[in-house]
């Protein structure tokens, strides 16, 4: 699958269930891709804005800029559901849970036996790290590392 087809699936999976307004504002960061053997692939940058238009909902919009200058628009709606949350993105749907100590996990189904499992680690109020595993028929095929900082 091309990078443009799946980057949007994991970029906005910031935790929303612990406190729906946690992580609102503008975020910027960098990321890199890795194959199954750990060899690093193309890098990218991320810019995103998270807002809460109503109770229990967080909207996120942003862009990913690839090393070659190509820009990918991204969109996500997060809705609190019980002790977890659901995700609606421009590439698929899914959900997740937070487990305390600044850790959350999400899964997004991209269809055709393709999905993305993401682990999110908050490093304070304004920094977070994510590791996403791209899955094809349940098998890992690629990994994405991201580091984001809240700038406002």
Average pLDDT over residues 92-118: 90
For residue 47, the model assigns a pLDDT of 95
- Partners of 7 in beta bridges: none
Q: CATH number of the domain that 92 lies in? A: 2.40.128.20
pLDDT digits over 32-90, tens only? 999 999 999 989 999 999 999 998 899 999 999 999 999 999 899 999 887 789 999 88
Position 149 confidence tier, pLDDT thresholds 50, 70, 90: very high
Number of domains in the chain: 1
19 pLDDT band (50/70/90 cuts)? low
Q: Which range of residues forms the domain containing residue 31? A: 3-150
Name the helix (H) or strand (E) containing 4. Answer: helix 3-6
Which is higher by pLDDT, 80 or 20? Answer: 80
Q: Which long-range contacts (CB under 8 A, 24 or more apart) does 55-61 make?
A: 55/20, 56/20, 56/80, 57/20, 58/14, 58/16, 58/20, 58/21, 58/23, 58/24, 60/12, 60/14
Burial state string for 43-78 with b = 16 or more CB within 10 A and e = fewer than 16:
ebebbbebebeeeeebbbebebebeeeeebebebbb
pLDDT given at position 134: 94
DSSP code for 8: G
Secondary structure class of 7 (helix, strand, coil): helix
Hey, what are 143's tokens? 């990994």
Q: How far is CA 152 from CA 2, 48, 128, in A?
A: 32, 11, 14
Q: Chain-wide mean pLDDT for the chain?
A: 85
Given a cut of 80, whether residue 21 has pLDDT beyond it is no
Distance (Å, rounded) from C-alpha 85 to C-alpha 12? 13
């Amino acid at each position: 699958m091309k990078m443009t087809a799946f980057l949007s699936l994991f970029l906005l999976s910031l935790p929303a269930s612990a406190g729906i307004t946690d992580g609102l504002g503008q975020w910027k960061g960098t990321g890199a891709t890795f194959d199954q053997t750990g060899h690093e692939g193309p890098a990218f940058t991320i810019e995103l804005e998270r807002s809460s238009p109503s109770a229990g909902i967080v909207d996120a919009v942003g862009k990913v800029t690839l090393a070659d200058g190509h820009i990918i628009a991204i969109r996500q709606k997060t809705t609190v559901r019980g002790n977890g949350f659901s995700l609606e993105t421009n590439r698929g749907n899914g959900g997740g849970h937070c487990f305390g100590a600044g850790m959350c996990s999400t899964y997004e189904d991209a269809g055709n036996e393709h999905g993305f499992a993401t682990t999110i680690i908050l490093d304070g109020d304004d920094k977070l790290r994510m590791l996403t595993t791209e899955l094809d028929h349940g098998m890992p095929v690629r990994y994405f590392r991201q580091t984001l900082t809240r700038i406002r």
